[in-house]
Structure 1
């Protein structure tokens, strides 16, 4: 059994990770991490892919096909399975994750910070980005989010820790996936991760860094374009492996996390594990 942290950089394209995420690429060059390309499921929309990443099911099977259809997950997922197994989970993420896995619709006054051993996710911090628009991106600072992740890891040492940041997706929507604004934001996320990932590794965490989907030059994501489906999968771990150059299956993330934690996989998780 080993502690695992999954970092989801919302909207981060594979090619942008290669060109603008200097820390992550340096970690690969130095042998501290390895990188694979991963293929997102369809549709390439956030809430459906959050659920895919956590259930190992494609959207057409788990039933969340768009952000407008978000509801509590009704499939075995990492948070529910680990809760039943007596493991501890934590999350710093967009409020969609509370709706999916936190037990109710999100209320910013009640659910912004959770420390409750009986809660579906016992240790959680959520941001809403309510009212975000081109004039007000409403993004938390990346280093502040990373500090919250570290606080949960340091104080509670959850077996599974999720960190989800939305800023690349936000700038991609406003300026497009080919814009300098989008690429610069990817580098800012990368710089913040350079301050977090080594701390997590020293604390005994296996760390994965990936994305739900990319974004195109139309400021959009949903379809089957390569820039939408090709996302990075960085692995800071000696326990995970796959053939070099292989394109990995996004549905493999959930069963891989469970296998690392020594928890039995449900029948619904059919994708091969990466360990």
Structure 2
């Protein structure tokens, strides 16, 4: 009887301990503060000083009530796909492997990356934040972002839309708001949103054109629609608005032709525009062509891939061509064969030295977790990733960013 009584007492204590433990876990979860959703917005090609033109009242209000940077430094080359993937991985293009908008990799399917490439192998050099957040229990959604249409190691956002340039900005915003209207368990905690009109206007008409101002005002209206929608829902939300790069005025009259510098038959041009990548065959003619390219040229500087200046963080990835050439701001570098295929006037371009003021990008952050009225000195865009990871409360993947330059943006 004594033994039975002891066993019953032990069972009672075990049940009590379990119940108290369960109650403690429930109380802890109930007391834990809920995090504000985070929306990352990219306005492609929105140069940092466009904010001063007086045509973007909604963005100006976000900056005044939150944080802005004097300018954000894109990664090199300062072009769209490498920088968008840098923003969500915290890795320089040389490390995540999307080294240009178009590049080659013989080991990959098809051998050539284009902006429509979806195969995982092109993107697997980095883990985007939506995958990291999802693996740590946060629902994620992407209303367009390079890489978001690809399942990377079997993971993609919970909700995502295939890029469709014809889908207007109002509809994009309404999709984001519809996701935020979902029940709490299904509601995204991290969302991306993308607009391309400012970049398109800059290329076609130049950064100082009235058409760019019209595009800025149009996108600003979409931002206003989003902010109004959040206010109507009484939903405190952290918003980070970035650009992937700036824009410089150019003319096709200011073009350096690679064919005029070296034997065209002895080099393979991989990509051109503000920056060119050239593969060189290991032949006497190839070595002669390389020596010509590496010489001094007006408005153009070329390096062997392993000798690109360290501050550019570029040239170690196998996908970077043998020779990298960077034009002076306002100039272009092309082959004559490629130039003959152009069918539109180019008035604006990017891709130049990422420290050039014309390449500086927009950065604004606003919401309950940000200070009001703070201005950050210039910082590299790799630092946005650890900032977002902190806001989401997730353990970041290894990255090239540093939260210290942006820590002052946070309210706590």
TM bucket (normalised to shorter chain) is 0.7 to 0.9
> Who wins on radius of gyration, i.e. which is larger?
2
Q: Matches of 2:100 and 2:45 in 1, distance apart?
A: 15
Q: Matches of 2:81 and 2:131 in 1, distance apart?
A: 17
Q: Deviation at 1:46?
A: 0.6
* Equivalent residue, structure 1, for 2:398: 267
Residues 61/176 of structure 1: CA separation in 2 closer, same or farther (3 Å cut):
same
Q: Matches of 2:248 and 2:398 in 1, distance apart?
A: 35
- Give the counterpart of 2:148 among 98, 101, 124: 98
Q: Deviation at 1:256?
A: 1.1
- Per the alignment, in what secondary structure is the counterpart of residue 67 of structure 1? coil
| TM-score, with length taken from structure 2 | 0.56
Residues 140/216 of structure 1: CA separation in 2 closer, same or farther (3 Å cut):
farther
Between 263-272 and 234-243, the greater mean CA deviation after superposition? 234-243
* Equivalent residue, structure 2, for 1:87: 138
* Equivalent residue, structure 2, for 1:223: 352
| TM-score, with length taken from structure 1 | 0.81
- 5+ residue gaps, structure 1: 105-117, 130-138
- Per the alignment, in what secondary structure is the counterpart of residue 142 of structure 2? strand
Q: Matches of 1:243 and 1:147 in 2, distance apart?
A: 30
**Deviations 1:186-215 (Å, cap 9, x if unpaired)?**
111001111102433632321111111112
* Equivalent residue, structure 1, for 2:174: 147
* Equivalent residue, structure 2, for 1:107: none
* Equivalent residue, structure 1, for 2:387: 256
Residues 182/73 of structure 1: CA separation in 2 closer, same or farther (3 Å cut):
farther
Between 44-53 and 156-165, the greater mean CA deviation after superposition? 156-165
* Equivalent residue, structure 2, for 1:5: 39
**Deviations 1:207-253 (Å, cap 9, x if unpaired)?**
1111111121122111123112x122111124235963421331111
Residues 182/244 of structure 1: CA separation in 2 closer, same or farther (3 Å cut):
closer
Q: State the aligned residue count.
A: 247
Which protein has greater RCO, CA pairs closer than 8 Å, 6+ apart? Answer: 1
Residues 97/76 of structure 1: CA separation in 2 closer, same or farther (3 Å cut):
closer
Give runs of aligned pairs for residues 140-179 of structure 1, distance below 5 A: 140-155=167-182, 156-179=186-209
